[in-house]
Chains A and B, each alone.
Chain A
């Protein structure tokens, strides 16, 4: 998990940090309705904690309520560089399952992307793309 020197960024809909395992974490807050502004802020926060390094990203969607079309389009990364090396999406509730599968089905991700229901399995998979922390 995050050490004391690893910065945690709290946003309206997300909490993000860089783990000591070289994985970037972003968790959707309970019952969050993610809009474009949330999505853009999240991208900025992930960039901020990543610096110049490209890390794999774990997105915890378990508690999400919904996400707007504009936010989905933003996350689909069309016309911009991904900034991450791989994405694991953590899903649990039927709603998060639909959202996760929607991302996978509707968009051709520029980086390897996979859905998981168990966090440890997601981390294990992401570690293949992880780089040592500076």
Chain B
């Protein structure tokens, strides 16, 4: 036996962990050792292949979860090694994700139902006011009923838009305005040949959450009602112009701007916005403050109210 062969013999013995004591037949011992190494290599290859397959399976499950498909599960073997732990962790995360998604959908349905019911309840109140107002003969009192009815309708419409939208947390205020104007038009029974409302320029969507949509809806109601009520007495002809959008100012932050202008008889000179003498004006002040806005009155031509409020 050469010295080189001895070295090979020692290395093989070390790798295989074999004890080749038979010095007489070292060649055979080396061969046995090499066969053992070959077998070990085959095992390592098979293990590597299995691990790669398990990783692929885990990735497959992760991709399915990303598509909210919860049907696939990664295999967990009895070895309980790192790959199994990973597979189990992914499976458990998938189960939790599925459970959360289901619970979220249930809550969405519930929220939709609540908005629907709130809207229906508000509609019932409106109907009750209608029924009660039938027996009222005093014009002033009848008008008060009508105003209350419109305010309730303004709020009910927000809930209606909320449950009809895909996003239950906010509504498109532009869409709301168009629906609201259409209702007001019918409600006030104004002859369209006499008074025309111009809202065509408002097309861009602006999404408001409920805490913004309700006061904005009520402000809109007060402004439009004001024009309908006072601007065109005795079948006077005229126009109501409505503008809503973003006012871009170079020197300050951008604001939303809501303008209602009419070319009617104009608001009486004694009316002071700082000392409002009617419930409508008081509400306007309060609601504008609630959304952090400012209220302006321009008497140059007819009446123009401008509400500016921050984009939050």
Size bracket, chain B contacts: 10 to 19
Tell me the chain B residues, 92-134 only, with Cβ under 8 Å from chain A.
92, 95-96, 99
Specify which of B78, B81, B82, B99 is in contact with A69 (CB 8 Å cutoff).
B99
CB atoms of A98 and B96 under 8 A apart: no
Specify which of B78, B96, B99 is in contact with A65 (CB 8 Å cutoff).
B78
Binary interface encoding of chain A residues 101-132 relative to chain B, with 1 for a CB under 8 A from any of its CBs, else 0:
01000100000000000000000000000000
A31, A67, A94, A102 interface centre (most CB from chain B within 10 Å) = A94
The answer to the question of A47 belonging to the interface, with a C-beta cut-off of 8 Å to chain B, is no
CB atoms of A94 and B99 under 8 A apart: no
Specify which of B80, B89, B91 is in contact with A93 (CB 8 Å cutoff).
B80
Closest to A97 in B: B85
A66, A69, A93, A98 interface centre (most CB from chain B within 10 Å) = A98
CB atoms of B85 and A94 under 8 A apart: yes
> In the bound complex, what is the Cα–Cα distance between A66 and B81 (angstroms)?
13
Binary interface encoding of chain A residues 89-100 relative to chain B, with 1 for a CB under 8 A from any of its CBs, else 0:
000011111110
CB atoms of B88 and A98 under 8 A apart: yes
> In the bound complex, what is the Cα–Cα distance between A99 and B82 (angstroms)?
13
Cβ contacts under 8 Å, A69 to chain B:
92, 95-96, 99
Cβ contacts under 8 Å, A65 to chain B:
76, 78, 80
The answer to the question of A72 belonging to the interface, with a C-beta cut-off of 8 Å to chain B, is yes
> In the bound complex, what is the Cα–Cα distance between A65 and B81 (angstroms)?
10
Q: Tell me whether chain A's interface is mostly helix, strand or loop, or mixed.
A: helix
CB atoms of A95 and B95 under 8 A apart: no
Tell me the chain B residues, 54-110 only, with Cβ under 8 Å from chain A.
76, 78, 80-82, 84-86, 88-89, 91-92, 95-96, 99
What total count of A-B pairs have CB within 8 Å? 40
B76, B81, B89, B99 interface centre (most CB from chain A within 10 Å) = B89
CB atoms of A72 and B85 under 8 A apart: no
Cβ contacts under 8 Å, B88 to chain A:
66, 95, 98-99
Cβ contacts under 8 Å, B91 to chain A:
66
Binary interface encoding of chain A residues 77-95 relative to chain B, with 1 for a CB under 8 A from any of its CBs, else 0:
0000000000000000111
B86, B91, B92, B96 interface centre (most CB from chain A within 10 Å) = B92
> In the bound complex, what is the Cα–Cα distance between A106 and B89 (angstroms)?
12
> In the bound complex, what is the Cα–Cα distance between A94 and B81 (angstroms)?
6
Could you list which residues of chain A lie within 8 angstroms of chain B, going by C-beta atoms?
A: 31, 65-67, 69, 72, 93-99, 102, 106
**Known pairs A93-B81, A94-B81, A102-B92 / 12 extra A-B pairs, C-beta < 8 Å:** A31-B78, A65-B80, A66-B76, A66-B91, A69-B92, A69-B99, A94-B80, A95-B80, A97-B85, A98-B85, A98-B88, A106-B96
A-B pairs with lowest CB-CB distance, top 3: A94-B85, A69-B95, A95-B80
Ordered by A's residue number, 10 sampled pairs between the chains whose C-beta atoms are within 8 Å are: A65-B78, A66-B76, A94-B81, A95-B80, A95-B85, A95-B88, A98-B88, A98-B92, A99-B88, A102-B89
